[in-house]
A and B are shown apart, each in its own frame.
Chain A
């Protein structure tokens, strides 16, 4: 603790000081070296230690920032509000309906009364609370009564889809409507559609009632209209039209129920892989091959195009050999065939021998639907499915939801040519292949929750549903779009909610930028989907909702979110403390010590100064 003394003293002063020091202070009796000092205490050491301490203090925020865990900011509030919004307001779509009465007397069939009657009946049929994916409460119904001579309209639908008065006034048009359903459908389509209306993206669902002298007959076409012909009373017409509107066009012919996840076979990334497999149970009996390429071009491609807004569909096919089934069948003399019943169906698929899921093309989150055409061996030929009511099944096929469908096809002659050593190779004839694919198409529809039959049986009567060569009619695609939009948005909301809860519960987990971006885009796509839904654009909303769901799933299943790999606080502490603790200890102690010493010396100096002042 050396003192910084003044400028070198003269020898006399030194001597005097030395003599002074040897004796008790006579010149300054008050000077006590323990409590006073004559010179100002030095500041250099204090400044040095304090500067080191301050540099540590200044550097501390920099250090803290550098070891901060990078978490991309997630919009927790938006996710929360989006989830709450989806839960509280079920997504409802605007719909427009139009009922046209042809050949009726406009005085007895008053348009306004009809309109209110139809609306009332529709309201009664729609008694349950609005399900997600159905029409919202302010749907509009407009009625046109066209009796050839005059034409009364209730509302003027602003779209170009509305009925133009006086277009059917020829008697032979009536005839066409009665005889040939296909032509009637095309005729109505030429009159009612196509609608290119940018204002209201959704289309108008139309029901045409034609007065004729015959039995009442109702047909729902391939587009967005239905027609009823026959001698029909006002009430019956109202109830049938209302039923068709509510049960068929809005609900798709399904029973009312919540949208079940088991009929939504779209994968989490919006893709479906249709895998067609031809299974030869025992190739030693016969081998069948098929011309899949042609069938695919002709029959499968239109369906894939039709399903574009709902899912991205790819197709693959294979032929397998030595694939017996695992359930048993028994011989029935009366029907001269081997019978398997519906109780055996769950055990039909023999997963040990049927290697169906071998595709490397399908990604981890796509959904694969297996369509199997099973050709039985000679021991079990012909193989028929018997229903619980004792009848033989027409289609010989069944589905398993979310898995796929199986059809059993029996070769024409079940007699094996036992003498030939060569393997008998056959091709399935185009007609048989066509019939098989019609069953497969029915199965695909079943997997999406629609019926494979062409009839709708309702309370007020049975309607015929026309089949489309695209596998799905326009109104069915609308129904699927609406339901899938609803389901996808729900799924997106729950996934994002789970993700935000997970991220908030692990405050020290790294969240990469990619996850932040995916969440942002997912929310944007969801908003776009809701927007489109409010305008009634079913297709675009289905596409956006699919995108939002796939982005949300990508974010949630991002491989970097593993709780095992986040840095705990103990880890951080254990890494940095062996260096910083000792160093900080020394620095702080040194600064404190210097400060104390400075204060002490300063006190001494001030004491001397006051003493000096007092004496002088």
Chain B
């Protein structure tokens, strides 16, 4: 019986959550693109991330809604034969670093702690807006991670790891705080699917480049630059997106099914059990493109007392005095309420508490330190006298 009740409750809560997410409108798209490896031989991870950055910008997501985290600098690396240029193909047709690349977290700022802070939103007060994920309950977020990974972890900066349960925990907190409507996680590492195996928040869709026990391979080596320049999973992702522009509506299922395991040399596994909608109905621009809901302004708002800009100064002063007094009344009522609240709280304590409170208040309100010391000395003296008298 109890079990049925519990199940009923769980069912209700899940239904409530899913219904509430359906009722909110999709208002904007965000992208968090993370490259976690450093060193020159991991050039391809940087190129992966920059390729996705370019795709997402081309399809419409603006820089203010993209958080780009690059763990190392390849464009200006001393070993880069083509300074300030990053390629993802040996034909060098596309310079990924060419125009308008805004990197939000660079170099050693890309740590597990900062990544989790970006996802959960718990920054120090001084962190600027460009480094924060300012999504709301109508946002669709694309989270792309690439680097070296393994069974249930992703390696950051060659020195620390992001575990799958940490990621699942962060996503759970994001869902609790309604920081996204839908989340698409793409992981391009070895054994990528294990990284999202612990997720259990609704509204999350995840695809990894390989399954447990499989490696993800790079696509080709650029003999001129000297390192592999792109990974297979990302290469085929780009091949799919280069055919699209921002007005297209290819579906997510066509995207997920475009991966050929023979060409990838691994199995691209995706997880859709937490996602309510059917993949055939979801266009890829829901995550990769930009959406901006617009409403036409029907008319201007005219007040009949059309104020000339010069005249307004005199009028303003009289208006201000009236509204000021209104506000003052408002605040007085507010204060009265607050004071009455506090005083009722105090009255409820017993007499000893009151005595103690009065002593404490006296102690804390003495501003003069000397006065305080004097009081203390007198107290001590009296105690001494009392004790000697008692001991006689």
Q: What is the interface of chain A, defined by CB distance below 8 A to chain B?
A: 181-182, 196, 198, 201, 258, 260-262, 291, 294-295, 297-299, 301-302, 305, 308-309, 342, 345-349, 351-352, 357, 360, 362-364, 385, 387, 393-395, 397-403, 405, 407, 430, 433-435, 438-439, 441-443, 445-446, 451-454, 466-469, 471, 494-495, 498, 501-502, 524, 527-528, 531-532, 537, 539-540, 543-544, 556-559, 561-565
Which of A181, A407, A453 has the most chain B CB within a 10 Å cutoff?
A453
Do B176 and A502 touch across chains, with their CB atoms under 8 A apart?
yes
CA distance A405 to B23 in the complex (A): 24
Do A452 and B294 touch across chains, with their CB atoms under 8 A apart?
no
B349 within 8 A of A: no
Do A346 and B291 touch across chains, with their CB atoms under 8 A apart?
yes
Chain B, Cβ-Cβ closest to A388: B296
Do B320 and A305 touch across chains, with their CB atoms under 8 A apart?
yes
B392 within 8 A of A: no
CA distance A558 to B121 in the complex (A): 9
B246 within 8 A of A: yes
Q: Known contacts A442-B299, A454-B299, A471-B301: does B337 contact A531 (CB below 8 Å)?
A: yes
Q: What is the interface of chain B, defined by CB distance below 8 A to chain A?
A: 23-25, 27-28, 57, 60, 62-64, 100, 112-113, 116-117, 120-125, 127-130, 132, 134, 136-138, 166, 169-170, 173, 176-178, 246, 290-310, 312-313, 316, 319-320, 323, 327, 329-330, 333-334, 337-338, 341
CA distance A407 to B301 in the complex (A): 14
B120 contacts across to A, CB distance below 8 A: 557, 562
Closest 9 CB pairs of A and B: A351-B62, A298-B312, A438-B300, A442-B301, A345-B294, A467-B303, A469-B303, A498-B176, A346-B292
Do B299 and A394 touch across chains, with their CB atoms under 8 A apart?
yes
Do B64 and A357 touch across chains, with their CB atoms under 8 A apart?
yes
Do A261 and B137 touch across chains, with their CB atoms under 8 A apart?
yes
Do B123 and A559 touch across chains, with their CB atoms under 8 A apart?
yes
Which residue of the partner chain, among B24, B117, B304, contacts A181 with CB atoms under 8 Å?
A: B304
Do B295 and A564 touch across chains, with their CB atoms under 8 A apart?
no
Which residue of the partner chain, among B57, B166, B302, B312, contacts A564 with CB atoms under 8 Å?
A: B166
Chain B, Cβ-Cβ closest to A180: B304
Do A298 and B307 touch across chains, with their CB atoms under 8 A apart?
yes
B298 contacts across to A, CB distance below 8 A: 394-395, 442, 451-453
Do A364 and B63 touch across chains, with their CB atoms under 8 A apart?
no
Do B334 and A543 touch across chains, with their CB atoms under 8 A apart?
yes
CA distance A435 to B304 in the complex (A): 13
Which residue of the partner chain, among A295, A346, A433, A527, contacts B294 with CB atoms under 8 Å?
A: A346
Which residue of the partner chain, among B173, B295, B304, contacts A399 with CB atoms under 8 Å?
A: B295
Do B333 and A561 touch across chains, with their CB atoms under 8 A apart?
no
Q: Known contacts A395-B299, A401-B295: does B337 contact A364 (CB below 8 Å)?
A: no
Do B330 and A357 touch across chains, with their CB atoms under 8 A apart?
no
Which residue of the partner chain, among B27, B112, B178, B312, contacts A297 with CB atoms under 8 Å?
A: B312
CA distance A454 to B117 in the complex (A): 46
Chain B, Cβ-Cβ closest to A294: B309
Do A364 and B129 touch across chains, with their CB atoms under 8 A apart?
yes
Q: Could you show 23 A-B contacts with beta carbons less than 8 Å apart?
A: A182-B304, A261-B137, A294-B309, A298-B313, A302-B319, A345-B296, A346-B293, A352-B100, A360-B128, A398-B294, A402-B28, A403-B292, A407-B297, A433-B309, A438-B302, A446-B295, A467-B303, A468-B303, A498-B176, A501-B176, A539-B330, A562-B120, A563-B166
Give the distance to chain A from B198, nearest Cβ to Cβ, in Å.
13
A501 contacts across to B, CB distance below 8 A: 176
Do A528 and B296 touch across chains, with their CB atoms under 8 A apart?
no
B306 contacts across to A, CB distance below 8 A: 434
Which residue of the partner chain, among A438, A467, A537, A556, contacts B333 with CB atoms under 8 Å?
A: A537
CA distance A434 to B310 in the complex (A): 12
CA distance A520 to B333 in the complex (A): 22
Do B338 and A528 touch across chains, with their CB atoms under 8 A apart?
yes
B129 contacts across to A, CB distance below 8 A: 357, 362, 364
B57 contacts across to A, CB distance below 8 A: 352
Which residue of the partner chain, among B124, B136, B309, contacts A434 with CB atoms under 8 Å?
A: B309
Do B125 and A364 touch across chains, with their CB atoms under 8 A apart?
yes
Chain A, Cβ-Cβ closest to B165: A563
Do B323 and A305 touch across chains, with their CB atoms under 8 A apart?
yes
Give the distance to chain B from A183, nearest Cβ to Cβ, in Å.
10
Give the distance to chain A from B172, nearest Cβ to Cβ, in Å.
9
CA distance A458 to B118 in the complex (A): 47
A502 contacts across to B, CB distance below 8 A: 173, 176
Q: Known contacts A342-B294, A539-B330: does B166 contact A261 (CB below 8 Å)?
A: no
- Interface contacts (Cβ under 8 Å), in number, total 207
Chain A, Cβ-Cβ closest to B323: A305
B307 contacts across to A, CB distance below 8 A: 298-299, 469
Do A452 and B63 touch across chains, with their CB atoms under 8 A apart?
no
B295 contacts across to A, CB distance below 8 A: 398-401, 446
Which residue of the partner chain, among B63, B116, B329, B334, contacts A562 with CB atoms under 8 Å?
A: B116
Do B299 and A556 touch across chains, with their CB atoms under 8 A apart?
no
Which of B113, B297, B341 has the most chain A CB within a 10 Å cutoff?
B297
Do B302 and A297 touch across chains, with their CB atoms under 8 A apart?
no
Q: Known contacts A364-B127, A398-B294, A399-B295: does B304 contact A467 (CB below 8 Å)?
A: yes
Q: Known contacts A362-B129, A467-B304: does B337 contact A452 (CB below 8 Å)?
A: no
B169 contacts across to A, CB distance below 8 A: 563
Do B301 and A261 touch across chains, with their CB atoms under 8 A apart?
no
Give the distance to chain A from B236, nearest Cβ to Cβ, in Å.
27
CA distance A441 to B299 in the complex (A): 10
Q: Known contacts A400-B292, A539-B330, A564-B116: does B301 contact A441 (CB below 8 Å)?
A: yes
Do A364 and B327 touch across chains, with their CB atoms under 8 A apart?
no
Do B297 and A561 touch across chains, with their CB atoms under 8 A apart?
no
Do B176 and A453 touch across chains, with their CB atoms under 8 A apart?
no
Give the distance to chain A from B201, nearest Cβ to Cβ, in Å.
13
Do A453 and B316 touch across chains, with their CB atoms under 8 A apart?
no
CA distance A471 to B338 in the complex (A): 31
A395 contacts across to B, CB distance below 8 A: 296-300
Q: Known contacts A540-B330, A557-B121, A559-B122: does B303 contact A439 (CB below 8 Å)?
A: no
Do B299 and A262 touch across chains, with their CB atoms under 8 A apart?
no
CA distance A543 to B100 in the complex (A): 42
A360 contacts across to B, CB distance below 8 A: 128
Do B299 and A562 touch across chains, with their CB atoms under 8 A apart?
no
Which residue of the partner chain, among A400, A430, A471, A556, contacts B177 with CB atoms under 8 Å?
A: A556
Give the distance to chain A from B24, nearest Cβ to Cβ, in Å.
7
Give the distance to chain A from B196, nearest Cβ to Cβ, in Å.
17
Do A262 and B296 touch across chains, with their CB atoms under 8 A apart?
no
A543 contacts across to B, CB distance below 8 A: 334
Give the distance to chain B from A565, nearest Cβ to Cβ, in Å.
8
13 further A-B pairs in the complex, CB-CB below 8 A; given A402-B28, A557-B121, A563-B169? A196-B329, A298-B312, A299-B307, A352-B62, A352-B100, A364-B129, A387-B296, A445-B301, A453-B299, A466-B304, A469-B305, A524-B341, A563-B166
Chain A, Cβ-Cβ closest to B112: A564
Chain B, Cβ-Cβ closest to A306: B323
A469 contacts across to B, CB distance below 8 A: 303, 305, 307
Q: Known contacts A301-B316, A305-B323, A347-B60: does B297 contact A439 (CB below 8 Å)?
A: yes
B25 contacts across to A, CB distance below 8 A: 260, 262
Chain B, Cβ-Cβ closest to A528: B337
CA distance A182 to B302 in the complex (A): 13
CA distance A439 to B166 in the complex (A): 48
Do A532 and B297 touch across chains, with their CB atoms under 8 A apart?
no
B24 contacts across to A, CB distance below 8 A: 261
A398 contacts across to B, CB distance below 8 A: 294-297
CA distance A351 to B313 in the complex (A): 37
B100 contacts across to A, CB distance below 8 A: 352
Do A430 and B123 touch across chains, with their CB atoms under 8 A apart?
no
CA distance A495 to B178 in the complex (A): 10
Which residue of the partner chain, among B123, B170, B312, contacts A364 with CB atoms under 8 Å?
A: B123
A262 contacts across to B, CB distance below 8 A: 25, 27, 138, 293
CA distance A563 to B294 in the complex (A): 39
Give the distance to chain B from A22, nearest Cβ to Cβ, in Å.
64
CA distance A240 to B196 in the complex (A): 59
CA distance A272 to B337 in the complex (A): 27
